[in-house]
Amino acid sequence: MSYIRNFENSNLLRRRAHHLIPGGSHTYAKGDDQFPVLSPGFITKGLGCHVWDVDGNAYIEYGMGNRSVGLGHAYPSVLDAVHKTLEQGSNFTRPAAIEVSCATKFLDMVRTAEMVKFCKDGSHATTAAMRLARAVTGRDLIARCSDHPFFATDDWFIGTTEMNAGIPKAVRDLTLGFRYNDLESVHMLFARHPGRIAALIVEPARGDEPAGDYLRALKALCHDNGALFVLDEMITGFRWHNGGAQQLFDVVADLSCFGKALGNGFAISALAGKREFMELGGIEQTERPRVFLLSTTHGAETHAMAAAIATMKVYEQEPVIEHLHRQGTSLRTGLEQAAARHGIGEFFRVVGRASCLSYMTLDENGLPSQAFRSLLLQETIARGILAPSLVVSYTHENQDIERTIEAFDGAFAVYRRALDSGVAGQLVGRPSDVVFRKYNQPAVPLASLPHLVRAKTEVA
């Protein structure tokens, strides 16, 4: 098995990127601080579940564009639709006919919604939902699930994190938190802030599934207290069910937000919901003040709409969800068995739904550890696997799963040594860090790590 150590071109690009781009990338989750020092800095191409970096190293990938690529990179039918549409232009003075086609297809798939408006990313959609909820209720406060890590780049959410510099306290104080699967925490919020909460926003599921009738009970609590019930389906949409997790769990949201897998990597997201609320952002209702809902120059680019339509057709016509669950289940089983063989089953845990897995790395004391996460990433990257999560796509075949389990098996041997003798002796450079932190750690100059650029060797 080849052992990848050559990141010479990546390291050259890193220096330039950090000089030109704050953070060195345009997405925090893709930043250098999220990966070990021995990692690819830049990807040149992807095909199916495989990607190649600027040094020519090949990987089986499990990040899948931060879960936005459900079918696989450069999926043929999606690319064909994009190519044909781009030949006719991408952006006009008036709406393109494909906007109606895309809305029709989306509402055919997501039957819990009555109207939809598209934009480019999840933050615009969730923020529009919060603005709409405030307009509907005449209230200012928002409650977001504290157990779910990300809802938007906008102030109403980022102000609740450690990375809240630049956000006025008055804005930060408008967002409250509650716990997932904990109805009592929501009861307490409504009791402390009677008549003031406009909406609750929560992911239908993440690492944990809703317990029993939790989502419907949460919706009832919202309505009993005059608040809107908003579901963030950026991740669960088109991974849990073709109609979203709300269809799987038999609950209808007042408003819901979709994105990521909707366009198989192309930039498109959606705010969907009940007509009585969505119409406030239109031009036909005359009873209520107008809501500036969503208006983006590039929000309805034709090629992104074409990608979404083509993607939804594949989900509709082929067993995509079933494949994701089957391959995710195989991956989970294989990794858990491999971890048990190395005696680290208590320190490495696979979590989440089979179609959207992630993992936990624990230290010798059983505590979550960025150092051990970095070590595992370092060793799996070296063996040709790029897995910041364990998210499968429609193009992950059996041989890819088998190859991945084999690579993790080798990495687990190193993990075991680190548990026994210390992680510092196994990890090259600094550990990765969490995105939401108050301050940065001092950087380690690349020049001080001459061993970063090595020829490929063989794993014993």
pLDDT in tens, the chain (460 residues): 557 778 999 989 988 888 898 888 888 788 788 889 899 999 999 999 999 999 999 999 999 999 999 999 999 999 999 999 999 999 999 999 999 999 999 999 999 999 999 999 999 999 999 999 999 999 999 999 999 988 999 889 999 988 899 999 999 999 999 999 999 999 999 999 999 999 999 999 988 899 999 999 999 999 999 999 999 999 999 999 999 999 999 999 999 999 999 999 999 999 999 999 999 999 888 888 888 898 898 999 999 999 999 999 999 999 999 999 999 999 999 999 999 999 999 999 999 999 999 999 999 999 999 999 999 999 999 999 999 999 999 999 999 999 999 999 999 999 999 999 999 999 998 887 777 677 787 665 544 444 443 333 333 2
Instruction: Identify whether the C-beta of residue 185 lies closer than 8 Å to the C-beta of residue 129.
Output: no
Q: Which residue has the tokens 């109403």?
A: 156
Distance CA 424, CA 416 (A): 13
Distance CA 324, CA 328 (A): 6
Distance CA 24, CA 13 (A): 9
With 0.85 as the threshold, say if the pTM is over it.
yes
What residues contact residue 284 under an 8 Å CB cut-off, 6+ apart? none
Residue 165 is classified by DSSP as: T
CB burial readout 255-279, b (16+ within 10 A) else e? bbbbbbbbbbbbbbbbbbbbeebbb
What domains are defined for the chain? 2-68+320-458 (3.90.1150.10), 76-317 (3.40.640.10)
